Amino acid sequence: MLEHKNLYIDGAWRRPSGDEVIEVVNPATEQVIATVPAATTKDVDAAVAAARAALPAWSRTPPADRRVFLDRLHRGLVEHADEIAATITAEMGAPRQTSGRVQAGLPIAVAESYARLLQTYEFQEHIGTTLVVKEPVGVVAAITPWNYPLHQIVAKVAAALAAGCTVVLKPSEVTPLDAYLLTEIIDAIGLPAGVFNLVPGTGAVAGEALVAHPDVDMVSFTGSTRAGKRIGELAAATVKKVALELGGKSANVILPDADLESAVRGGVANVLFNSGQTCTAWTRMLVHRDSYERAVQLAREAAETTVVGDPSDERTQVGPLASAIQRDRVRAYIAEGIEQGARLVTGGIEPPAGLLAGYYVRPTVFADVTEDMTIAQEEIFGPVIVLIPYADEDESLRIANNSLYGLSGAVFSASQERALAFARRLDTGMVHINGAPLDLLAPFGGYKQSGNGRELGVHGLEEFLQPKTLQLPAPAAA
């Protein structure tokens, strides 16, 4: 069993002030595979102090020199890609094919994108007679989730470092091992002491201490809307900047002229990816009444032919959920859907055949779902998809927008122009047209209770910058 005993503070590995540890469980076997220290408030204070002390020099480091470190970070991630993928499969159950391509691949691509961005981004501009300079926000607390653990870390850390901020990272206690791999890479590339610090721990202790800390200038958080609200409350006391990427209940609107089979199969695959643990998953499938029963049958076939099993098996498409808590939560939603009268097309609360150990949930499809049902309104965060019929385009739009969330969504149509026109009326931060993939250079974030702020690309960099206006006198008349 792997045993991490140290935190990373001020450029060095150091023992925590307390003796509490966090156990890391392999969700496919339910066995403890590692332990990491649980940082205390005293450890958080030390990490923030190190980040604050390092800020003046790092914030003045020229962008070209910061790019050198991001290039080194990118190369380190590439060199350790196989180890990263294997670690994430072990700690959160992502199938091996997913871990290699996405769980390791995304952070590699994001780190490279910020290194390249520093070659072209202008940190100042003239507006009239004013010089506007874009300065780093300061000390950033990055608090990250377990579903895409290293991707979410790198999306915050790489952008913050590129902007000239210093960082204190608190990864999810469910998946801290990939954060240790990243920290080992950072330690090896020669980043100045204090610029990056790692304090694994619980949200209630390390997380809240970071958010409330008066020397933290910004909190960048990805996780549940419930936790995001708590962060907003704590951060308000010191009026620090908060960027929140929270939950979603995204609608997949299949317009009547769409290729039904392609749209349904693509929609089911989207929801089942990463065992349904994706905030942007298109979990509400809206289909015209004339095609509805055919869509239900197609969704059933797609779910039942998806391979569920051991995430270390290359054939597996859906692995376990990340924890027992998450598995039980998803099963409770399935039970509630049945109780409220939704038609269970396939799946259910019983574990998949032959998988009695591990935190597995069967791919589940519900039909005849009304928009007021719990499974149509609340984020389930598991391999569960609901199908809702609509009578016309206006009704589909109303149903799609009837949500507390507004993170992502999809529109399928034979006409891209029609799909774009519909997408413009959706109250959501991102819309995928006819299954288009995620663009890592485009802003990522949502409306309503899906949060505020944006990640990735230029917009992600600018979250960690603040403008200063230098008012210059008008030039003398000739």
**How would you label 92-118 residue by residue, b for 16+ Cβ within 10 Å and e otherwise?**
bbbbbbbbbebbbbbbbbbbbbbbebb
Q: Which helix (H) or strand (E) holds 123?
A: none
pLDDT at res. 224: 95
Q: Write down the catalytic residue from 165, 279, 379, 463.
A: 279
In order of 54, 138, 139, 320, the CA distances from 60 in angstroms are 10, 12, 14, 45
pLDDT digits (tens, 9 = 90+) for 250-267: 999 999 999 999 999 999
Q: Mind listing the pLDDT tens digit for each residue in 186-202?
A: 999 999 999 999 999 99
Over residues 153-162, the mean pLDDT reads: 98
Q: Reply yes or no on whether 279 is catalytic.
A: yes
pLDDT mean over 338-359: 96
The pLDDT of residue 477 is: 73
> How far is residue 211's CA from residue 236's CA, in Å, rounded to a whole number?
9
Whole-prediction pTM = 0.97
Q: Which domains does the chain have, with CATH numbers?
A: 2-246+451-469 (3.40.605.10), 251-440 (3.40.309.10)
Q: Which residue has 């009578």 as its token pair?
A: 391
Q: From the candidates 245, 379, 455, 463, which is the catalytic residue?
A: 245
Please tell me the predicted confidence (pLDDT) of residue 104: 98
245 given a catalytic annotation:
yes
Share above pLDDT 90 across residues of the chain, in percent, rounded to a whole number: 98
Report residue 108 CA to chain centroid gap. 15
What is the distance between the alpha carbons of residues 360 and 337, in angstroms, rounded to a whole number?
Answer: 18
How confident is the model at residue 478, as a pLDDT? Answer: 67
Instruction: Judge whether residue 217 has pLDDT over 90.
Output: yes
Query: Is the CB of residue 296 less than 8 Å from the CB of residue 404?
Result: no
Q: Is the pLDDT of residue 71 over 70?
A: yes
Q: For residue 70, what pLDDT is reported?
A: 98
